[in-house]
Structure formats: C-alpha cells, structure tokens
Amino acid sequence: MFRYLLKRILIFIPTLLVISLIAFGISKLTPGDPVTSCGNLGGQDKTYLNDYFAAELAYNQRAQSLGLDKPSFYFSFTSRAYPDTLYKVLNHPKRAAIAKLISRYGNWPQIDHYFKAIDALEIASYQIPQSEVKNAKIEIRKALSQLKINYNDKRVNYEMKALQKVFEKDSLVQKYVGQESKALFLAYDQMRNQSSTSKLFQPKFHWYGFDNQYHIWFTKFITGDFGYSCQDGRPVKERIKRAIGWTLIMNIFALILAFSIAIPLGVFSAQKRGSRFDKWTGLILFVLYSLPGFWVATLLVIFFTTPEYGMHWFPSIGLGDTSTDIPFWSRFWDRASHLFLPIICLSYGSLAFIARQMRGGVLNVIQQDYIRTARAKGQSEEIVLWKHAFRNSLFPIITLIALVFPATISGSVVIEYIFNIPGMGRETIAAIYAKDWPIVFTILLLTTGLTMIGTLIADILYAWADPRVNFKK
Amino acid sequence: MLFFNKNKRRKAEVALSKGGVDSISYWAIVKKQFQKNTLAKWALRVLMLLVFIAVFGDFLANDKPIYCKINQQSHFPVFKSYAVDMGLAKWPAELVNVDWKDLEYEQKILPLIPYSPTDLDLRNAHFKSPFDKQNVKGMRYWHWLGTDELGRDVGSGLIHGTRVALLVGILAMGVAVLIGLFFGVLAGFFGDNGFKVSRIRLLLNLIGLPLSWLLAFSARKYQIMETGNFGIEIIKSIFFFSLILFGINLIARLVERFSFFKKRVSIPLDLGIMRFIEMLNSIPGLLILIVVLAILEQTSLVYLMVIIGFISWTGIARFIRAELLRIRSLEYVEAAQALGYPRLRIIFKHAIPNALPPVLITIAFGIAAAILAEATLSFLGIGIPLEKVTWGSLLTEARKNASAWWLALFPGIAIFVTVTVFNLIGDGLTEALDPKMREQ
C-alpha cells in the first residue's frame, strides 16, 4: 500500500512537469506583445511619445521586471543562422521581425548591421535642430520605427522610399544624417544580397542553463508565487485564493448531493429491476444525463431568478451583499439561497451518471455466487441486498470520484459564468475576455493539479476499501 | 516451389478472410439487435432528419426564393448562390445586391422559412415573441420561433445551426478517431514487449526526428509562412521530413550488420502511451479547449473541430487498445502470423477491422460530447466566428433579455435533442454489440 502510494506520487511529479511545459508552451504562443499587453505601460505611452529613449527605457524595465530578458528555456535547438543571444533583444515586435528576417536570409551579421544602421540613423536624427526641419524629423522617426518591426518587402520598400523622399526634399537634412542614411541603404542592400540560407540547414544546440524563464516561472509557481494579474496588477494568488473557495464549496456540495441521491436510487432501481419504477427512473436519469448543463442553468436563471414569469423564487444571480455583522445563520441561509440553483446544475449530470453506474454495479453483484449462497442460507432479501450486495457494489463507485470530479470542475466554468458566482470558472472566463494570461495559466495548472489529486484520493480510497485490490503490481 | 508457396498462401488467405468471423452475419446480428431497441431505432430516425436538415438547410431557410420568375425570366436563386459561391457563375446585373424580399415576382416558391439566419428584419427587431404582434407582410413571413435583438429569425438560425453542430461533432470525432486509432493500435497490438527495434535504429531515429524536423520545417519557416502558398510548401516540408527519416532508416539498415548495433531493444509502447493518456486526462478538457481557442488570433470552425479532436481521442485509444490486447492473442491473428504476413498487414487487415465495432460506441458518445462542447463555446462566445449563427450563440441571446423565453427554449431543445439522439444511439450500440445480451 505504502509502496503503491509512493509510486503514484512519483508519477504525479513528471505529469505536473509535462503539463507545466504544455502550459508554458501555450503561454509563449499568446498573441500580442507580452510587455505592453500586460501592465500599465499603455497609459504612460503618451508621456513618452516625445522622448523616444525614455519610452524605450521604460519598455525595457517593464520587460525585465516580467523576466523577459532571460532565455525562455534551458536549451535551444535551432539552426546556426540564429544567434544565441536573440533573446536579449527585449522589444517583442522587433525580435519577431529579426527572427523572420533570419528565417529568410540566414545572415545574422548583415541583419545585425542593418538594425544597427537603423539605430544610428535614429540617434543622428536627434541632432537635426528642431526649429529648421520639424516635419522631416518626425517623418524620419516614423519610418524608422516601422522599419524596426517590419520584415515584409513591400512595407520595408515603402518606408525606405519615404525616407528617401525626405532626404531629397531637404538638403539640410542631408547635412545632418546623410552619412547614416547612406549606411542604412547600403546595409539593407547587403542584407538582401549577401544571404546565406545554407546556414539555416545547419543544426545547433545551445545550453542556456537554469537562469531561464521557464525555470523561474515554474519554481515560483511551486512555491506559490503565481505572478501578477494584468487587469489590476494584484498578485494572482490573492485573486485565486478567494475564487477557489467558492468553486470548491460548490463542487463538494454538488458531489455530496449527487452521491447521496444517486446511490440509493441506483440500488432501488436495481432491486426492482424491470418494474415501472426502474423504467421511469431509467428514462429520467437518461434525460438528465443528456440535458446540457448550461441550458438548464440558463432556463433556471430566466424562470426562477427574475420576476418576469411570476416564479421569482430565488434571489437574482451573484452572491448578493451580506455584511459580516448579520448573524451567522441568516448569512448562511442567504448564501445558500444563492448557491442552491448552481449546485443543482452542477450535480444532476453526475447524479444521473453515478446512479446508472450504481444500478449496473448492483445488478452485476446480485448475479455472484455469494449472493446466491446468502439467499440459499435463508437470509432475508433486505439483508442480502444491503449487507452483501450493496457493500460490494460500492467499491467501483469510489473510483467514479476520479471521473466525476474533473467533470464538475470543468462544468463549473460555465455554471459560475451563468450564475455569476465569483469562483475559478468565472475568473477564468473573465481573464480570457481580458486577455489576462497569468491568471489563465495559473488556473489551468491548478485545476490540473486538483484533478490529479482527486484521482489519487480515489485510488487510495479504492485500495483502502477493497482488500481484493492488489497494488503490488 | 515459390509459385506453389504463393498459391497456398492465397488459399489460406481466402479461408482466413471468409472464416474470420462471419463478417456479414455479424453485422446482421448487430443490426437486428439494434432494431430491437425501440428508443435507439427512433433516435436513428431523428438523426436522419437532422442530417437532412443540415444538408438541405439552405432550401429550408433562406431569404432567396427557391424558384422565381421576374420579367418573364425564371431564376433558381438558391442553386445560383451555390454556383456563385464556387465561382462558377455570376449574378445577373439586376440581381446583384438586391433585397430579395422587396423584389416584385410574377411567380415564386419560397423556402419553409423565408429568412436567412443573418437576415436582419429591422421591423421585427428587439425580441419579437412568436405570439407578439409582428410587423410582417403576411402569415407566410411570420417568425414562428420569434426573433432576437437584431431581428434575426430564430427558426432560421436553428436550421443553419444544425449544420454547424453536426459538422463539428462528426469531423471532430473523425480527427479523434484517427489519432486514437494510431495510439490505440500502437499500445494494444505491440504491448510492452511487442515493438522491438535494433539499437542503432532507435538511436538514429531519436537523433533523426528533431533533426529532420529542423531541416524540413524550421529551416523552411520563411517559405511556409511568408511566401503565401502555405499548402504547397507544407506538403513539400512533410515530404522532406519523411524523406530524411526514410534515409535515416536506410542507414540504420546498413549499420545493423554489425552485431553490437543489431541487438534488439523492446520499447514499452503500451506503458508510455497509457501514461501519456493518463496525463492528458488530468487536464480539464473544457478549460484547455477554451484557453487554446482564446489564444488563436483567428476563429474558425476548422480549428474548433481539430482541437476538440485533439483532446477527445484518449477514450477511443483506450477502447482500441483493450480490444487489440484481446484480439492479438486470438487464433486468427496467430494464424496470420504463422503464415508469415507482414505486421502492418495483420494490423490493418485483420486486427483493426475486428477492433472497430466497440469503438462505434465511443464515437457516438464522443459526437454528443463534441456537439455539447461546441454549443458551450459558442454560448460563451469563445472560438467561434462572431457572424456564425449557432445554437449556442442563440442561447446566449436569451441572457440579454429574461422575457425572451423562446430564445432560451428552442435552441436548448435543439441541443438537447441532438445530444440525446447520439447518446441513445451509443446506448443502443452498447447493447447490440454486447455478446452477453445477444444470447438472450
């Protein structure tokens, strides 16, 4: 038993690792710039508009504080065309543009040269006196900022032409940035003409070590530091701590309700197999099983929580406001009245499933030899059923917890959204609408962990309850 | 001698295929058993009706007439719109961008519901109930199932939603079956000791897989992503990928002559795949579906189907594995092995066909689950193109206005009926395929 437990826990760890890798991989695929999409840089952008260097500095600081200045993983396996230090380019769109250019031309030195030429021109353009050619300065900078993040020929040519036009129009500009602009055009031509695509086909393995984004993210995650929410900058942990309580309360009550109704129902309908009671419960359970939870929830919300149809029996959705100075019991009843419908919605699906399984289990056990023996012994039907059949058919039901638990957790995503319960599910949906990825991935990993723990508990219960189960294998 | 051998083998093969399990009568039995189950029989009939609605949805609910006569000229606008969509024809000048409802017809045959699902009937906007006073030209134009906030006809939306639901359900399961079959066969047929490769082949393949990925896909990223012909380039890449792997295995074959490299190692496929499935099963399905779909910048039904397929293959793989574990020790597989058939042939011709029937059950339940997932996602408004009218998106409209009971009721019934139909068929198949039940 102990060895089995140890083995299960040992499996638990690689599973969590793989899932963390999947989550991290997906998080790297999220669209948009992680620096500007997460955080309040957007608001400050305007003040930095006139001061390019200050804006860049702020951007880089933000990127550093998010840990984006580190390589993303322990190692990389790419072609030799890509430099090891590409991650040091902090600007996300710029890095994407560089990577695209490398994938096309394969000549990092020339590309590097080209981007340096852009920077040089930018710095030089600052020396143009404000008073003389104000428009030219703005146009040059506009074109350059586009050149930095674009890789597509058409767009780059367009911006290059725009630059050339500015230079042709104003001889004064030539005086200040003539050299740099020539260098830029030259660098661009060099990059295009001296491509070395053969380098793309040479594999290269590079080891970055433990100071990488994944390692830091995962070690922090294990120690309970989930990062910060993009919506309000508060720690994810704080937000989830409140939410997980509601989800767990709802799910546990729903499971208790489901099991406590389903088990007797299954036993009775197995006992009266073929009777009218059995047929009707079978049909009703089947219908319940097929009823989509979000539809039932929507119907309940519409009919029972609004005064529209004269059946306003439950308070409107949400948890309501209860201040802490009301006595405990009235607060309890208030909460219960809010949670009643969602718990019903969560539980009826599993209820139908468990009852059907229970009926099958009892029917299976009744055919066993020891039941026949018990009957032959002259035991009353009640004792046969409850003492012999019931107990033995209960074992497989325990493993159902492992099946039902993840389903209710998943189900509570939609139910919480519909009933506006501030649990993990609603938090997930809200975070997805707000593109608040740190919360989304934390919840993904946490629910996975919860599911695994649920499975583990079910396994242990099964082993503890049924001595026939052999775990030595 | 050789010829004789071949002849003999062919004879044995014929005997094997005939005698396997009387394949015709087996299905006949299953069919008979299935027909006995009244509920399942009716479910199948309802399913046929649903398929009919899905296929001919454009003729049942459309703003264009099926047939009309304008200025002594006959038109078949619904057919024509198919041709126009395929680029085979063009609308005549007088019919480009017309409002079909305001045209003057000499003769016309309207579809059952003369509205398309995206048709905005502004005169009947803001949630018109079926029993409300509707501002329509005549009973023929009545919104029998009401309208939503924008004045879209609910009935038309339901009919066109059928196509989306069935398409997603069936194609998602198609993807799942392909993946599940692959892993299930690997795990079940080979088990933990059945898959043996030589040391050198294992080593070279372990090195070769990432290498050929790099050469065929990573190095050609520009050609694939940026040159605009994604389809051709990706096929080229897949070709290169397989070519390199093939080359590597060729080399392995040559090196295998040395006895050290020749030593065979067995790969515990079953263990590995079952662990993998266990791992996947601990990720809450709906959650990962929502997250992945939210990340994709474009929304498309194809993505939805593929992703649902990718997360729901584990059940099928498990079923196939269990079946193959049983089948591979049966006499006819042993006989085929004794005849010296190649492994692939035994798998595809003898093992898989006999493992498939129980998988049908999982497929039926899986389609129900996929349809439910699609409805849930469109209810939440994640991952489904906004302009697409689906059952879930209609149901969401109900949340905007509590008095619009028709928006809550009808789409829900549609989802419920479809899901129930597939569940009933799954139940019926379970009974029909169960040999214990058959004997009775």
CA of A138 to nearest chain B CA: how many angstroms apart? 31
Looking at CA atoms only, how far is residue A292 from chain B in angstroms? 6
Between B331 and A48, the more confident residue is: B331
From B391's Cα to the closest Cα of chain A, the distance in A is 11
Among A138, A118, A123, A98, CA closest to A183:
A118
Q: Which residue of A has its CA nearest to B225?
A: A100
| Token digits of residue B249 | 């295995």
Nearest Cα residue to B395 out of B376, B419, B369, B382: B376
Q: pLDDT tens-digit profile of A152-205?
A: 888 888 988 888 888 877 777 777 777 888 888 888 888 888 888 888 888 888
Give the residue-averaged pLDDT of A406-433.
85
* Rounded-to-integer distance, Cα B342 and Cα B336, Å: 9
Residue A231 inside a domain? The answer is no
Shortest alpha-carbon distance between residue B109 and chain A (Å): 36
Is A117 in the same domain as A141? yes
Q: What is the DSSP letter of A389?
A: I
- A294 to each of A255, B399, B416, how far by Cα in Å? 18, 11, 11
| pLDDT at residue A50 in the model | 58
The answer to whether B380 contacts chain A (CB < 8 Å) is yes
Of B291, B409, B415, the CB nearest to A292: B415
Q: Is A455 on the interface with B (CB under 8 A)?
A: yes
Rg, chain A, Cα only: 32
Torsion sign (Cα): B285, B291, B292, B297:
positive
- How far apart are the CA of B334 and the nearest CA of chain A, in angstroms? 28
Residues of A in contact with B221 (CB under 8 A): 103
Helix B352-380, helix B314-327: angle, nearest 10? 170
The whole-number pLDDT of residue A41 equals 45
Render each residue's pLDDT in chain B as its tens digit; 440 residues: 444 456 666 665 665 555 555 555 777 888 888 888 888 899 999 999 999 999 999 899 888 888 888 888 888 888 888 888 888 888 887 777 777 877 788 888 888 888 888 888 888 888 888 887 888 887 888 888 888 888 888 999 999 999 999 999 999 999 999 999 999 988 988 888 878 888 888 888 899 898 898 888 888 888 888 877 888 888 999 999 999 999 998 988 888 888 777 788 888 888 889 888 888 888 888 888 888 888 887 888 898 999 999 988 998 999 889 888 888 888 888 888 888 888 888 888 888 888 888 888 889 999 999 999 999 999 998 888 888 889 999 999 888 888 888 988 999 999 999 999 999 999 888 888 876 655 44
> Is the Cβ pair B283, A18 closer than 8 Å?
no
Tell me, yes or no, whether A311 lies in a domain.
yes
Question: For every residue of A307-346, which 3-state class applies, written as one string?
Answer: HHHCCCCCCCCCCCCCCCCCCHHHHHHHHHHHHHHHHHHH
Report yes or no: B393 and B150 within 8 Å, Cβ to Cβ: no
Residue B292 amino acid letter: V
Residue B392 contacts residue B378 (beta carbons within 8 Å): yes
| Tokens 């010296």 sit on residue | B340
Which residues, numbered 244 to 263 in chain A, qualify as contacts with chain B under a Cβ-Cβ cut-off of 8 Å? Answer: none
The reply to whether residue B283 touches residue A448, judged by beta carbons under 8 angstroms, is yes
Which positions in chain A touch B279 (Cβ < 8 Å)? Answer: 15, 18-19
**Residue A392, domain extent:** 236-465
Question: Which SS3 state, helix, strand or coil, does residue B107 take?
Answer: strand
Contacts of A325 (CB under 8 A, 6+ apart): none
Q: Does one domain contain both A194 and A270?
A: no
Q: Is A273 helix (H, G, I), strand (E, B) or coil?
A: coil
- Beta bridge partners, A8, equal none
Is there a single domain that holds both residue A252 and residue A142? no
Of A159, A190, A222, the one marking the end of a domain is A222
DSSP labels for B261-328? HH-EEE--HHHHHHHHHHHHHTS-HHHHHHHHHHH-SS--HHHHHHHHHHHS-HHHHHHHHHHHHHHT
Is the Cβ of B249 closer than 8 Å to some Cβ of chain A?
A: no
Q: Phi then psi for A463, rounded to 5 degrees?
A: -65, -35
Is residue A347 predicted with pLDDT exceeding 70? yes
Contact B263, A432 (CB under 8 A): no
The answer on pLDDT for A42 being more than 60 is no
Indicate if A212 and A334 belong to the same structural domain. no
Q: Which residues in A lie closer than 8 A to residue B427 (C-beta atoms)? A: 286
Secondary structure (H, E, C), B310-372: HHCCHHHHHHHHHHHHHHCCCHHHHHHHHCCCCHHHHHHHHHHHHHHHHHHHHHHHHHHHHHH
At A321, the pLDDT band (50, 70, 90 cuts) reads low
Give yes or no: residues A202 and A272 share one domain: no
Q: Which residue of B has its CA nearest to A407?
A: B284
Which site among B38, B279, B296 would you substitute to test the A interface, given the most A Cβ atoms closer than 10 Å to its Cβ? B279
**Helix, strand, or coil here: B61?**
strand
- Which among A15, A203, A294 has CB closest to B279? A15
Count of residues in chain A = 473
* A26 is a domain residue: no
Q: Which of A222, A254, A283 is the last residue of a domain?
A: A222
Helix (H, G, I), strand (E, B) or coil at A203: strand
Residues A379, A272, single domain; the answer is: yes
Q: For the domain that residue A358 is a member of, what is the CATH number? A: 1.10.3720.10
Q: Is A447:B289 a contact under the CB 8 Å cutoff?
A: no
Cα nearest neighbour of A102 on chain B: B222
Cα-atom radius of gyration of chain B, to the nearest Å? 28
* Mean of pLDDT values over A432-460: 83
Cα-based distances in Å from A287 to A453, B121, B265, B338, B368: 31, 36, 52, 50, 13
Residue A415: closest CA among A254, A239, A224, A231: A254
Residue A403: pLDDT over 80: no
Nearest CA in chain A to B409: A299
Do A39 and A62 contact (CB within 8 A), yes or no?
Answer: yes
Q: How many angstroms separate the Cα of A39 from the Cα of each of A43, A57, A65, A233?
A: 9, 15, 11, 7
Considering only CB atoms, which chain B residues are within 8 Å of A152? 226
Please give the Cα distance from B142 to A131 (Å, whole number).
70
Structure tokens at B373: 């997932």
Residue whose C-alpha is closest to residue B373's, from A464, A407, A243, A169: A407
Q: Which of B287, B371, B379 has the most A C-beta neighbours within 10 Å, making it the best mutation to test the interface with A? A: B287
In a domain, A23, yes or no: no
The Cα of B215 is separated from the nearest Cα of chain A by a number of Å equal to: 6
Question: Are A203 and A240 members of one domain?
Answer: no
Burial A281-301 (b: 16+ CB within 10 A, else e): beeebbebbbbbbbbbbbbbb
Lookup: tokens for B370? 């996929």
The secondary structure element, H or E, covering residue A53 is helix A52-65
Distance CA A103, CA B214 (A): 12
CB B158 within 8 A of CB B410: yes
Whether A439 and A371 share a structural domain: yes
- The number of domains in chain A is 2
* Residues B30 and B432 sit within 8 Å (Cβ to Cβ): yes
Same domain for A48 and A187, yes or no, is yes
Q: Is the pLDDT confidence value at A472 over 80? A: no
> Do A440 and B294 make contact, defined as CB atoms within 8 angstroms?
yes
Considering CB atoms only, which of A30, A302, A410 is closest to B402? A302
- pLDDT of B88: 83
Q: Does the distance separating the beta carbons of A30 and B412 come in below 8 Å?
A: no
Question: A352 in contact with B at a CB cutoff of 8 Å?
Answer: no
- In sequence order, the 6+-apart residues with CB closer than 8 A to the CB of A140 are A121, A125, A163, A166, A173, A177
Residues from chain B contacting residue A295 (CB–CB below 8 Å): 395, 408, 411-412, 415-416
Q: Tally C-beta pairs within 8 A across A and B.
A: 135
Look at chain B and count its residues: 440
Q: What are the structure tokens assigned to A403, written together?
A: 């099946």
- The whole-number pLDDT of residue B2 equals 45
Say yes or no: B254 contacts chain A, CB-CB below 8 A.
no
H or E element at residue A192 = helix A171-193
Cβ burial, residue B370 (10 Å; 0-12/13-18/19+): buried
Q: Is residue A8 part of a domain?
A: no
CA distances from B249 to A68, A324, B182, B202, B262 (A): 41, 72, 21, 9, 13
**Which residues in chain A are contacts of B288 at CB distance < 8 A?**
444
Query: What CA–CA distance (Å, rounded) separates B314 from B179?
Result: 9
Average pLDDT over residues A203-216: 90
CB contact under 8 A, B380 and A414: yes
Q: Is A271 on the interface with B (CB under 8 A)?
A: no
Domain check: are A174 and A298 in the same one?
Answer: no
Task: Please indicate whether, in this complex, the C-beta atoms of B416 and A290 are within 8 angstroms of each other.
Answer: yes
pLDDT band at A51 (very low <50, low <70, confident <90, very high): low
Residue B13 has a pLDDT of 62
From chain B, pick out residues whose CB is under 8 angstroms from the CB of A13: none
- Full-model pTM: 0.84
Residue A11 is assigned to a structural domain of this protein: no
In terms of pLDDT, which residue wins out, A95 or A457? Answer: A95
In a domain, A2, yes or no: no
Angle at the Cα of A53 from the Cα atoms of A52 and A56, rounded to 5 degrees: 90
Tokens of A400: 């159902």
By Cβ distance, the residue of A22, A287, A299 closest to B408 is A299
* Tens of pLDDT, residues A113-139: 898 888 888 888 877 776 666 677 778
The answer to whether residues A349 and A436 belong to one domain is: yes
A128 and A242 housed in the same domain: no
ipTM: 0.82
In-domain check, residue A255: yes
What are the structural domains of chain B? 1-62+116-195+269-440 (1.10.3720.10), 65-110 (no CATH), 196-266 (no CATH)
Nearest-neighbour CA in chain B from A291: distance (Å): 6
Nearest CA among B161, B146, B92 for reference residue B388: B161
Q: CB contact, 8 Å: A333 with chain B?
A: no
pLDDT of amino acid B221 = 83
